[in-house]
Every structure is written in C-alpha cells, then in structure tokens.
C-alpha cells in the first residue's frame, strides 16, 4: 500500500471530526397542553438518556462519549406531540443502519415522553429525521 493510500485511510473524515453529541427530544405538549411540570419532564429526559447509554454501552461512540466527561455535549429538542415522537422513532429504526435511540414510555400511563439518541456525530440521516418530524431546539 502506498503512503498516500495509508494516509487517506488513516486521515479522519469530516464526520470523525464532528464532536460526539446526544440529542434529547422531549414532547412539548406535555408541558403546554397536558400540564406536566418542568421537573417531571427533566426526569423523563434523565430516564431516556440513562437507558440509551446503558443499551449502547458497548458501542465505541458511547464509550468515547463516557470517557470524556468534561466535554459531553447534549442538545435538548422539543417535538410537538406524541405522533411526532413516534414518527421520529420509526424513522430512526428504519434507517440503514438503524440509529440507536431509546424512546422512554412512562408507566403505568404508557405514555411516550422522551427520546434520547445514542452519542453520534450528527450524521445527515439524523438531521433529516429530526427536521422531518418537527424537532426544534427547546424554548422556555
């Protein structure tokens, strides 16, 4: 193998240079229309993030994310309602390869409340799924 080929293979790609981030998607209607408090919604986000980190603990991206505690990046997004968060889950599951996430479903109510994506480098398929399902930065 030539040195040019070796350096091309070992050179980080643009995707590799993106920092790892977790997207946390919370249903906005639970606060606005259903009367949930901010504290209970924060608990839903904590449940979803803990679950996805546990489920993906063997992935190199999750291990790298957890190994760099001082530089963890998260973004909290809002989605309008239950239909949009379920549609997002479906899009992530059906992408090739599937994007790892955890949809937290609060019990005993059986209400999907929050979706957390495993640490990722903001791949275009993730951006598209978030955009298509109406996810926006959380606004107070």
Of the listed ranges 16-20, 59-63, 116-120, 123-127, the one predicted with least confidence = 16-20
For residue 129, pLDDT beyond 80:
yes
**Residue 93, phi then psi, degrees to nearest 5:** -70, -35
Rounded to two decimals, the pTM is 0.87
Q: What is the mean pLDDT of residues 57-74?
A: 96
Beta carbons of 130 and 138 less than 8 angstroms apart: no
Q: What is the dihedral of CA 54, 58, 60, 63, to 10 degrees?
A: 50
The pLDDT tens digits of the residues spanning 10-57 come to 555 555 688 999 999 999 999 998 999 999 999 999 999 999 999 999
Of 124, 22, 31, give the one whose Cα is nearest residue 76. Answer: 22
What are the extents of the domains in the chain?
19-137
User: According to CATH, what is the number of the domain 19-137?
Assistant: 3.40.1490.10
What is the longest distance spanned by two Cα atoms in the chain? 63
Residue 109 class from Cβ within 10 Å (0-12 exposed, 13-18 middle, 19+ buried)? exposed
Beta carbons of 126 and 68 less than 8 angstroms apart: no
């Amino acid at each position: 193998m030539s040195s040019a080929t070796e350096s091309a293979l070992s050179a980080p790609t643009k995707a590799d240079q993106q920092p790892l981030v977790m997207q946390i998607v919370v249903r906005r209607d639970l606060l606005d229309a259903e009367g949930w408090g901010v504290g209970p919604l924060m608990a839903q986000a904590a449940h979803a993030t803990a679950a996805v980190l546990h489920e993906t603990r063997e992935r190199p991206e999750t291990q790298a994310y957890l190994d760099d505690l001082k530089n963890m990046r998260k973004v909290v997004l809002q989605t309008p309602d239950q239909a949009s968060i379920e549609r997002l889950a479906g899009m992530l599951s059906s992408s090739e390869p599937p994007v790892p996430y955890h949809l937290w479903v609060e019990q005993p109510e059986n209400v999907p409340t929050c979706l957390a994506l495993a640490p990722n480098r903001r791949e275009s398929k993730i951006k598209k799924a978030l955009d298509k399902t109406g996810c926006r930065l959380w606004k107070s």
